[in-house]
């Protein structure tokens, strides 16, 4: 129930972000969200002596990996995600970002030497058919070109952050909360600097402050902590199945709050992609039991 609650919080982030973008520039919005969240996580994580000791004993390679992870996942991916949501409908961008596990399968071949099975190839094909159906016949052409490019950038950086996150967590020698906290602190700091350079100092209204604090405290700091607690009890396959409920939640929330109504063909495409992504993730879990699940790709 805790894990499912976290997916509800993460799915609701998309709607809150769309509302917040009506008042705030995207990079500033993203930087404030993850900057405040990283501050809270730093205080929580390093209040424990074992976490402080662990970090002090790590070498340069470990720090380099976490800094790179934070720059790719927080700075690049989250910055691009907020930018993309300022141009694209939430459902369309959710579909694009849910291609991440499929992209990761291909990227893992040269980097992690993980060869996809025949079954994975079949489900990947099903997922691509779902994407084609969603944008058929010319729906993609009606979307802003800049938004599509930023969305593709977010998909690419999210995929590479999943690869780096898998490499960092695969050894299992660092608490996941430490990885999350350290990488987010570095990534959010750089994102804040970029936001100041590109968008300047932005006035924040009371309503915008509510959006920022809710996303920072509840949907990021508390949600990540609850997710880690759930990971201590549930199997990786259980976490993957619960993770897969996010896309339909985003679709429903977008219907109710944003007035985005997919056609029958688009519904078919969404269902095919959702099923294929779930299947690919389950196959990977069964092929390599107890591999850490990367939950940072959520909003």
Read off the tokens for 122: 């079949």
294 inside domain: no
Among positive and negative, which fits the CA dihedral 147, 152, 155, 160? negative
How many C-alpha atoms does 196 have within 13 Å on its Cβ side?
7
Read off the tokens for 141: 């052409």
Among positive and negative, which fits the CA dihedral 54, 55, 56, 58? positive
Give the pLDDT of residue 169. 67
| Burial tier of 89 (Cβ tally within 10 Å: 0-12, 13-18, 19+) | middle
299 inside domain: no
Give the pLDDT of residue 295. 45
Measured distance CA(137)–CA(276) in Å, rounded: 21
204 inside domain: yes
Give the pLDDT of residue 36. 96
All residues at 6 or more sequence positions from 170 whose CB lies less than 8 Å from its CB, including other chains: 291, 292
Helices (H), 200-235: 206-213, 223-231
297 inside domain: no
Read off the tokens for 241: 């199945």
The domain in which residue 99 lies consists of 2-287
Tell the residue number behind the tokens 């994975």, with chain if given. 120
HEC-encoded secondary structure of 159-202: HHHHHHHHHHHHCCCCCHHHHHHHHHHHHHHHHHHHHHHHHCCC
Give the pLDDT of residue 292. 46
Domain total of the chain: 1
251 inside domain: yes
**Grouped pLDDT means (10 residues each) for the chain, 299 residues:** 90 94 95 96 93 91 91 94 92 83 74 70 82 67 78 89 74 80 95 96 92 95 84 66 80 89 83 82 68 49
Phi, psi dihedral angles at 184 (to 5 degrees): -65, -35
Virtual CA dihedral for 171, 177, 179, 182, nearest 10 degrees? -160
**Cβ-based neighbour number of residue 149 at 10 Å:** 14
């Amino acid at each position: 129930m805790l894990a499912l609650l976290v997916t509800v919080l993460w799915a609701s982030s998309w709607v809150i972000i769309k509302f917040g973008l009506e008042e705030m520039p995207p990079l500033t919005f993203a930087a404030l969200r993850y900057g405040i969240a990283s501050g809270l996580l730093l205080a929580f994580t390093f209040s424990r002596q074992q976490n402080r000791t662990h970090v002090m004993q790590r070498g340069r390679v470990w720090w380099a990996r976490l800094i790179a992870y934070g720059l790719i996942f927080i700075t690049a991916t989250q910055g691009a995600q907020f930018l993309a949501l300022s141009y694209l409908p939430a459902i369309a961008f959710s579909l694009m970002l849910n291609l991440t596990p499929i992209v990761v399968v291909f990227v893992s071949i040269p980097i992690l030497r993980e060869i996809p099975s025949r079954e994975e190839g079949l489900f990947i094909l099903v997922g691509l058919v779902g994407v084609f159906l969603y944008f058929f016949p010319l729906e993609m052409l009606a979307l802003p070109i800049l938004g599509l490019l930023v969305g593709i950038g977010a998909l690419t950086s999210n995929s590479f952050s999943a690869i780096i996150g898998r490499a960092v967590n695969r050894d299992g020698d660092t608490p996941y909360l430490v990885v999350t906290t350290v990488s987010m602190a570095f990534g959010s700091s750089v994102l804040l600097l970029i936001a100041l350079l590109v968008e300047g100092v932005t006035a924040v209204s009371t309503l915008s402050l509510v959006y920022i604090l809710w996303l920072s405290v509840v949907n990021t700091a508390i949600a990540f902590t609850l997710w880690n607690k759930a990971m201590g009890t549930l199997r990786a396959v259980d976490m993957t199945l619960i993770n897969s409920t996010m896309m339909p939640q985003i679709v429903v929330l977008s219907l109710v709050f944003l007035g985005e109504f997919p056609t029958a063909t688009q519904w078919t495409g969404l269902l095919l992609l959702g099923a294929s992504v779930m299947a690919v993730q389950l196959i990977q879990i069964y092929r390599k039991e107890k591999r850490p699940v990367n939950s940072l790709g959520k909003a």
